[in-house]
Amino acid sequence: PIILSDKEFLNHEELHYPFEERGLQFGDGVYEVIRVYDGNYYLMEEHIDRLFRSVEAIKITMPYSKEELKGLLQQLLEKNQVDLDAKVYLQITRGSAARDHAFPVDVKPNFYAYAQEFSRNLPAMWNGGSVMSHPDHRWDWCYIKSLNLLPNVLAKQEAKENGCMEAILHKDGVVTEGSSSNAYLVRDGKVYTHPAKKNILHGCVRMRVEQFCDDLGIPFVEEAFRVDDIQHADEMFITSSTTEVTPVTHFDGKKITTGSPGEVTRKLQYAYEKDAGIPTAK
């Protein structure tokens, strides 16, 4: 693939980083994953805005304006002839410099982005899947989309080893979010999810789900729920740019009501598909 590196387009084999790179040594950087449907970016504004918020929070100076970055990302799709479904990964780190925890002086940030073909997981979206609870071992600033993903990686691996599609993270029993998704519970026709505070990532799909709920007259309640509340839930689902709106049918090995996707979840799934201009998952 052709990679966007700073403001240049390179063949991926030409992209080399020095061994003293702060993303590699400290996880000193942030990233985004943006979905592409039919050759068009979905929720591009939301992702770019969040990237700029993350970058500001860790005191990196963004080398581009938002408009400039959008133009470069557009060219990335053209150069790779991406006209189908894909995801674009972008990351920016503080740069390359002699290893020292404190910020190096006069260092230039390292930025790159690439597109990867990606297909929707239609069976999971249609049938739903199982999740398990897992302690949230992350720091207090998960609103920053940081490269430090070790707690997320370990939780996801444990989920995988237990035949689950996601680990639902909790702090002392209070559900924060998934290891790479936002988590929601439906009860008495209302959607509950953790408030968009600093300890969760403010998902771009989450923002959209709030809008869909408004449009559909479904109360969207930003109130954290507990692991114990899940056994009394009518429905559960997760969202992210890669999983869209995916129903959860089993939690810690137990069925959520009938063990099949719920009605409210389906409505939100259809709303997502309509908004993104994509066919119904079946």
Q: Which residues bind ligand PLP (CB under 6 A)?
A: 33, 177, 180-182, 201, 203-206, 239-241
Nearer to ligand PLP, 140 or 188 (CB): 140
User: Counting runs of H as helices and runs of E as strands, what totals does the chain give?
Assistant: 7, 15
Nearer to ligand PLP, 54 or 180 (CB): 180
Residue nearest to ligand PLP (CB): 203
- CA nearest to 250, candidates 127, 157, 121: 127
Please say whether the beta carbons of 251 and 131 come within 8 A: yes
> What are the angstrom distances between the C-alpha of 11 and each of 21, 183, 261, 274?
20, 38, 43, 35
Q: At residue 263, what is the residue type?
A: E
Minimum distance from residue 151 beta carbon to ligand PLP (Å): 10
Nearer to ligand PLP, 186 or 205 (CB): 205
Structure tokens at 102: 């404190």
DSSP assignment letter at 201? -
* ∠ CA 39-42-46, rounded to 5°: 145
Of the listed 7, 87, 145, 267, which one is catalytic? 145
Minimum distance from residue 256 beta carbon to ligand PLP (Å): 20
Task: Provide the CB-side half-sphere exposure for 178 (13 A, CA).
Answer: 30
User: Residue 111's CB: how many other CB atoms inside 10 A?
Assistant: 22
Nearer to ligand PLP, 107 or 207 (CB): 207
d(CA 236, CA 225): 11
d(CA 126, CA 266): 9
Q: Is 156 a catalytic residue?
A: no
d(CA 159, CA 168): 9
Radius of gyration, alpha carbons of the chain? 19
Residues carrying an active site annotation: 145
